[in-house]
Structures are given as C-alpha cells and as structure tokens.
Chains A and B, each alone.
Chain A
Amino acid sequence: MSGADQGASADQAPASSTVAPSVASTASLPPRAAPAAVRVASGGWRHDVTGATVVWRRELIRFSRNRLRILTSLAQPILFLFVLGTGMSSLISRGATSGGANFKTFIFPGVVAMTVLFTATFSAVSIVWDREFGFLREMLVAPVRRGALIAGKCAGGATVATLQALIMLAFAGLVGVPYSAVLIFTLIGEMLLAAVAITALGTALASRIAQVESFQVVLQFVVLPLFFLSGALFPLHGLPTWLSVLTRLDPLAYMVDPMRRAVFEHVTKTPVVSQLFGGTMTWGSWHLPIGVELALTAVFAALMLTVAVREFSKTD
C-alpha cells in the first residue's frame, strides 16, 4: 500500500527538520530508516475512507451477531401492521372500502418508516453505550478524522436500518402491495435516505448524552413524537391547525410521504380510499413534489451530520 510509504516519509519530518542543513549537504548518507518495527499510519482521505469502512463493517457485524435484536425489532411493527391495521381496517371498511387498498395498505409505508426510525435511532444511540464501555475512546484516539468515523457510523446505522426494514417489506403481499421491482427499488432508495437522516439525528443527539439512562429521554421526547406526528398512522390532511402545524415540522413526515406515494401508485384503490388515504403532503394549498420532500430530507441529514461531526470533533 503506497499509503504506508507516505507515512514513513512523513515520519522522518521531525527528525530531519531539526538537523535540516547538515542532512541536505550529506546527501550520500542513506535516508534515516525508521526502526524496522515502527510504522506510522498515513494521513489523507484514503485512510479516512478506510476508517469509515471499518466503523461501517463493525456496525454490520454487531447487527448480524445480535439475532435477538433483529427479532424483537420486528415485533412492534408487526403488531402495528397486523393488529392495529386489521382492527382499524374493519372499522373503516364499514363506511367505505371493499377490496383493493385499505387501512393496512395505508399504514404499511408508515410501519416500514417506523422500522427504519427505531433501528436507525438504536444504532446511532449505541454510541452512548460505546462511550459507557470505553470503546468510543478507542475510536476517538485513532488517527482518523472524526468526520470519517461519523460518516462510517451513519452509513452503518443506515445499512442496518434498511436491512431491518427490508424484512418488513417482505410482508407487502399480505397487505395488498405488489412485489413490483420498481416499487421495491424506489422504497429501498427512500428508506436509505431516511435511515441516513435519522442516524445522523441520533448521532447528533448521542454526542450530547453522557449516560445510557438518558436513552429513555430520547425515546420518549424525540423518537415517539417524531413517529406519531409523521403521518405514519393517519392521513395528514383535514387536521386541526395545531396538529397540522406540528406534523409539518416533523422531518419524518417528509420521509413517510414519498414512501406512501410510491406504494399508492402501485395498488388498486377505490375512489373513496383515494380520497381518504391518497392525499399528499401539503403546505397550505401547495402539494409538495416528491423531489422537494427528498431534498428536504437530504438537507436535514446534512445538517444533522454537520452538528454530529462538530460535536465529536471537540476536545475537552
């Protein structure tokens, strides 16, 4: 690897700079070789990419080792989808639907988003555990830029959250959503973007949390409000003003809506269902294009990443 050579030459800098004039004149001397055993990591972006990859891979290893976590993370979305979903469907179908899309179809993208939300948050907040058990220090003292570590962490959290949500996506057929390749790839892309944004948010939060106990606070005051206001479980039109405003302030709402629109493009639906559930995100009378929603999510992700990197780059 050429990076190692760079590092070795950089390493001579302090020694040669102290005796610079004489070294320059005695060019016949072989360059001072570092002692055989000693080597120095190279700097540069290549090494930062390696650093990020290492953190990303660790996240995947930990995820795959923890089968129980994969299973328990499925319980909640499944309850929402099949228990709450079925219960509400039968209530709503009395008034309206027959065949095709129903309430379960409606909350399906919401439940997928929910899986992304919880898995990504959990992954990001595991930084607090890393801090508690010391491993964070092992990473922070490594000669890798903090930004690279955060990038790796977010990529890892996003991958893990997307994988977990993919398992939920497998249930699509049970709620009347077709296994269309276009739909699935669209959803995966949107899930990834949402997962990056949420992991970034979780990482930014984790930078300010010192104790594992505080995770409950994050859950109750950040994650659950984000979830409830996102429109994952109910349509965002025709709400009282206060609730309407709050839902529009929820970044998760702009992640759920594109996923729902993708799903609704691919299902058969009665006019009543379209009218009840088919609405899109609006600001006043403006229907936001999907592109704008995705852009907003990307901006939010970038903002949170910046905050996280800045917080973790601080030295006490």
Chain B
Amino acid sequence: MTDPFAIPDATSIKVTGLTRRFGDFEAVRGVSFEVAAGETFGFLGPNGAGKSTTISMLCTLLRPTSGSAQVAGYDVADAPAEVRRRIGLVFQDTTLDDYLTAGENLRFHAELYGVPHTEAARRIHDVLSMVGLWERRDGLVRTFSGGMKRRLEIARGLIHSPRVLFLDEPTIGLDPQTRAHIWSYINELRCREQITMFLTTHYMDEAENCDRIAIIDEGEIVASGTPEALKARVGEDRVQLHTDDDEAAMAALTDRFKLKATMSEGAVTFHVPGGEQFVPRLFTELGVGISSVSIARPTLDDVFMAHTGRTIRDAEASVADRNATSSWRRARARRR
C-alpha cells in the first residue's frame, strides 16, 4: 500500500471466540481469527461447516450467541450501522431485482449507500466495465445468465468502495469457465482497489488464490495459514489405489508398512512421504492385486483430510442430510 498514513499491520477483521447457536445446534463454535487490511482471506470448508453463518455475523445480519467480532474498526454487535457502511457483500444466493436493469440495480445500491450522484455514475461505469457488463447496463437482470448475475453482484458490492468485501461462495453453481472468469475479476480487484476480501469457498483450487486461509469443519477452525504453509505442513504425498480386495489391501498396509489407510472416493487412500519411491515396493510386497495407482502432491484437500480424517467431498455427503432446509436452499441456488 502506498498510503503514507496507513497504519502498519492494521487489522481489518478481528474475531474472538465467535459462537452461534440455532436451538441445540451449534453452527459456529468459538471461532477466532484476524485478517489484516488489504489481505484476501479465505474460509474453506464443506457445505454446512458454518461458513455462511460466520459471514452473516460479520455482516451484522446475525447476532452472535457469544464472542465478539470487529469489522473495519467497529464491533458488529455494538455498531452494526457503522460496520454496514464499510462493507460490501456478495451473497451466496442472488440478491438482485430481476425486474430492474443492471444499471438500476447498481444505482439503487449506490443511493442506499449514500454515494453522491456524480460519483455514482462514474463508479457504475468503472465497476460495470471491470466485470464486462457495461454494454448490458440497460438489460433487465432477468435476462442475464447465472455468471452475468454473479459478476453484476460483485460489481454492485464495490460501488460504494467498501473497506471490506465479503464474498460468500462467489462461484457456487457456475461452470468452470465462468468460475475462472470470476476469479480473474477478484484478482484484478486485489490489485486495483485497496480492499480487504473475506471469502468462503468449498472449492480447494479456489482457496489457493487467497493470501491466507482458515479451514473450518463442523463450526471450528481446524487449521489456518498460507496455502503453501498448510500444504508444507502435511508434507506427505497422497496415494490412492484400486485393488482386487480393498479390505485385504488396507490390512496389509497396516501390517507391513505401518500405514493408516482409509477408503475415500471409492479408493484405498493413504499418505506417505516420497510416494513415487514407495509405489514400486507396493507391487512386490502388498500381496493384493492392484489395478491402478495414483499419486498426488499435497493439496488443500489433503490438508483438510489431515486435520479432519476425511475429504471435503465426503464431509459434504455426511452434512447433506444434517441440515435438510439449507441443502435445499443450496440446491436451488445451484440450479439458478
């Protein structure tokens, strides 16, 4: 940052022991973390892990059951209005007015946030151009595709030049190409606007784009750091096997190699340092027919697995029936 008066190490978001309960269900359990000004911070976890609940509390839409959170210098419980003035939000579900044009949606937002008229016109031009929708400014939003709507929402979140931009699953329900587009906008944004970004995602590859991430599972942060540091900490390669007899193979791995294997994504999965050197030994010493082997360098998925004992996809499968209502809502969001 070039701002000579910027406070070094300014904290943009400071969360201490944040907890939210819905009846008996504890969606967020004593979460603590800090996000520095200008940083892009990712919340990574399966659906139902408590990501959206956390974001809702940080945006003052939900009251914390206990704990505290400061956003842009203000407490979310004590000064929600001050917080709201300084944040931009891109929700998981679309929150545009279908009957208004793209330009009208943005003007509406600019006025609600008190952006002066002349400045609003300039900002609308800037943000719409950035997301490639300037030509479509007079088009009714109902005629837009899912990707266009999401881009418009990102543009809208920026109109009032917020200090902190919250993006809740910014790419959910979009095809891979559009996802890549959205990320190029987000990355451009990091360069152009001096803005702190807090985003949630359950896509591992997207979390790699963040400066720092926190992995959240069942309402608790299980690990946090830069993506590189987290992966380095895991260190081991992931090996997945398809065998003639998975039970026997898992038993053999434990007996002969002292390796703990689990079934994941339909394959015998284990972690071992130097996977490539290890695999030839497997064929001679395992004693079970192997039909295919795959080795992977550690990814954030492995980080997640190392901390929770399951892959993020498996975690989502088990969460799916835990919260019928919200999974229905997500299914609906995906369909759009």
Contact = CB atoms under 8 A, between A and B. Distances in A.
Interface string B106-127: 0011011111110100000000
B3 A35 contact: yes
B194 A133 contact: no
A53 B116 CA distance: 15
A33 interface: yes
Contact of B119 (A39, A51, A66): A39
A62 B105 CA distance: 12
Interface string A39-63: 1111100010011011000100110
A17 to B, nearest CB: 9
Interface residues of A, number: 40
Interface string A14-55: 110000000000000000110101111111000100110110
| Interface-centre pick from A38, A50, A61, A140 (highest chain B CB count, 10 A) | A38
Interface stretch (B94-102, B128-136, B297-305, B310-318): B94-102
Contacts of A66: 99
B160 A133 contact: no
B61 A315 contact: yes
Given A7-B114, A14-B74, A54-B111, A140 B61 contact: yes
Secondary structure of the B side of the interface? loop
Contacts of B193: 37
B114 A50 contact: yes
A33 B3 CA distance: 9
Interface in A144-177: 144
| Interface-centre pick from B6, B109, B119, B161 (highest chain A CB count, 10 A) | B161
Contacts of B30: none
B80 interface: yes
B7 interface: yes
A31 to B, nearest CB: 9
Nearest to A139: B112
Nearest to A316: B62
Interface stretch (B83-91, B221-229, B268-276): B83-91
A237 interface: no
A1 interface: yes
Interface string B143-163: 000000000000000001111
13 contacts: A7-B114, A14-B74, A35-B194, A37-B161, A41-B85, A43-B81, A43-B85, A54-B111, A66-B99, A134-B94, A137-B91, A139-B112, A316-B63
Interface of A: 1, 3-4, 7, 11, 14-15, 32-33, 35, 37-43, 47, 50-51, 53-54, 58, 61-62, 65-66, 133-135, 137-144, 315-316
Interface of B: 1, 3, 5-7, 59-63, 72-74, 80-81, 84-86, 89, 91, 93-100, 104, 108-109, 111-117, 119, 160-163, 193-194
Given A53-B111, A139-B112, 13 more contacts: A1-B116, A15-B73, A33-B5, A35-B1, A35-B3, A37-B194, A38-B163, A39-B160, A54-B108, A58-B100, A133-B95, A141-B61, A143-B112
